[in-house]
Amino acid sequence: MAELVKVAFLGIAGVLLAVQFRGTKPEYATYIGLAAGIVIFFFCVRQVELVAGQFSKISAYLKGSEGYLAILLKVIGITYICEFSSGICRDAGYQSVAGQIEVLGKLTVMFAGLPILFAVIEQIQSFL
């Protein structure tokens, strides 16, 4: 909880600092926003590492189906990376690039989830 408050204040401070520079030096405002975003992203990576540690406990219960958990982690990583990078592009004024990153992320998530779909189809066919 304390780390969340730190990140929130860091984000607010970064935005307020960027707003101060936006009128006189707009390129500095972009750099400050990017730097704040990168620092916050590294806080997120640390949280993801903690969650991954908890997933190892969950995988002990799955016994033989750990591949599904790996796919879930991969999909979560893809979504965070795409959202982060598209947000930076959108903030810099490149909405079309941000949209393309989001489309690529959706396609990648769909492709990563195909093994689960195939497993479900195989299960259905085994019952018939």
pLDDT digits (tens, 9 = 90+) for 34-91: 888 888 888 888 887 888 778 778 877 777 777 788 888 889 889 989 998 998 888 8
**Residue 57 belongs to domain spanning:** 1-61
Altogether, the residues listed in the chain come to a count of 128
**Residue 80 near residue 45 (C-beta atoms within 8 A):** no
Question: In whole numbers, what is the pLDDT of the chain averaged over residues?
Answer: 86
Looking at residue 24, the DSSP 8-state letter turns out to be T
**Residue 102 tokens, joined:** 């989001």
Q: When comparing pLDDT for 123 and 108, which is higher?
A: 108
Q: Of 20, 40, 61, at which residue does a domain stop?
A: 61
Average pLDDT score over residue span 98-126: 90
Number of domains, the chain:
2
Considering the domain architecture, whether residues 57 and 68 belong to the same structural domain is answered as no
Question: Is the pLDDT confidence value at 97 over 90?
Answer: yes
